[in-house]
A and B are shown apart, each in its own frame.
Chain A
């Protein structure tokens, strides 16, 4: 069965600093991979997705993610965070048309 691991429950970053959120997946083949963001009182918003091809994926709000098959990872990055980036971030995987499987999330706090 698919599983997604986000090893960091909570990360605190200074505004303007760079950010990397970790995600590892467990599956026999390479699944489709996603990053979502959830702000308080809001639904999940898709930041970016990887299906195949170029391993560096650009998303919305200045985020990018890199797929590394050898490490079974799909880490999310942003060169300079803004206070508005404070939220919960979820990595998710999907194999074919099977169900979307989410990690437990990483809560991002931004300090001025």
Chain B
């Protein structure tokens, strides 16, 4: 079992650009959540996808959008990048949206915005 995988590992962009991050959930999982972890901070919830729909959203602007595909993989898109978007972006997967089911985290994508 490969666990949760994320690509790319690292990414460097400039202000104003757009970026797409990808996540493949753990085998058997159908729910994907995305988190932003700024340096020295805990992860902040961005949004959660289940059955190809956004189910919950944290306090992030509309520049952050996502998608879930029929195979349960997911993308996080960020438009009009700001310096403050530099962070580690974590994807987590679980079976169903129930909080009783453990979320498994991927290693993250390190985004640097110059």
Interface residues of A (CB under 8 A from B): 4, 32, 36, 41-46, 49, 51, 90, 92, 94, 96-105
Contact = CB atoms under 8 A, between A and B. Distances in A.
Question: Is the contact region of chain B dominated by helix, strand, or loop, or is it mixed?
Answer: loop
B107 A43 contact: yes
Contacts of A99: 45, 48, 56, 58
Scoring A42, A43, A103 by chain B CB atoms within 10 A of each residue's CB, the highest score goes to A43
Contact of A43 (B41, B98, B106): B106
Contacts of B104: 43, 46
A102 B44 contact: yes
Given A44-B43, A103-B42, A104-B41, A97 B105 contact: no
Interface of B: 4, 33, 40-45, 48, 56, 58, 90, 92, 97-100, 102-108
Contacts of B92: 43-44
Contact of B42 (A32, A42, A98, A104): A104
Nearest to B42: A102
Contacts, number: 54
Contacts of B90: 43-44
A105 B41 contact: yes
A43 B107 CA distance: 4
Nearest to A102: B42
Nearest to B48: A99
Contacts of B103: 46, 100
Contact of B99 (A32, A42, A102, A103): A32
Contact of A97 (B40, B44, B99, B106): B99
A32 B101 CA distance: 12
Scoring B43, B100, B105 by chain A CB atoms within 10 A of each residue's CB, the highest score goes to B43
